Amino acid sequence: MSANLLVELLTEELPPKVLQTLGNAFANGIAEGLRSRQLLEAGSTVTVYCTPRRLAAHISQVRSIAPDQPFSEKLMPVSVGLKDGQPTPALLKKLAAKNLSHVDPATLEREHDGKTEQLVYRAVAKGSSLNVGLQAALDDAIAKLPIPKVMSYQLADGTTTVHFVRPAHGLIALHGKDIVPITPKKRNLPRGQSRNQSIVGSISGCSNNNFVN
């Protein structure tokens, strides 16, 4: 199932000279993170919105769960991984390092890479849920924001120090009508639907298009 996704980050007043830049980076960073995790349909579009106290992204055709993806993992040459048909300590160590200790070495495939015959593990990875994928995409987008001057401020606990462009106070993430339970990494922000006026109802600042539900 796919639906529109709205993500809003509520902050104290942002620097006006970089509002457009921050808005673009925030929205496009989230979209790229979701796309790389196969959570966007082919025709998905992203619209950037921001006001002096909010950064937001509206992304269409967002999946609730990504499709399963086949993958392969080249391990090592057959001559190194097998001896007399039995797995060598090197192969067993390699499988353990890749969290593949459960794999029966006899099920590994052989593939010639043009130089040597390689042992290859093939499987199908379960698709990421939107909850997991959006959390990672949001963390990446925030970490890569082009902030010209970082502020340091303490959270309500009086001990946790946060470094960001301005103090942040809340996050809204809605997939269709459903709340997506995410929180920016190390921000300890409240999450859920906004109780105040949403940016959707009052577009200004760096928005370039009309909002479409």
Nearest Cα residue to 191 out of 135, 116, 127: 135
Three-state DSSP at 14 gives coil
pLDDT tens digits for range 83-101: 988 999 999 999 999 999 9
Task: Domain ranges for the chain, please list them.
Answer: 2-66+128-201, 74-125
pLDDT tens digits for range 7-27: 998 887 877 888 899 899 999
Q: State if pTM tops 0.85.
A: no
> What does 37-73 look like in DSSP terms, one character per residue?
TT-B-TT--EEEEEETTEEEEEEEEEESBPPPEEEEE
- What percentage of the chain exceeds 70 in pLDDT? 76
First to last CA, the chain: 16
pLDDT tens digits for range 179-211: 998 876 655 444 444 433 444 443 434 544 433
Three-state DSSP at 15 gives coil
Alpha helices in the chain (DSSP H): 19-36, 78-81, 89-97, 130-143
Vertex 194: Cα angle to 60 and 39 (nearest 5): 25
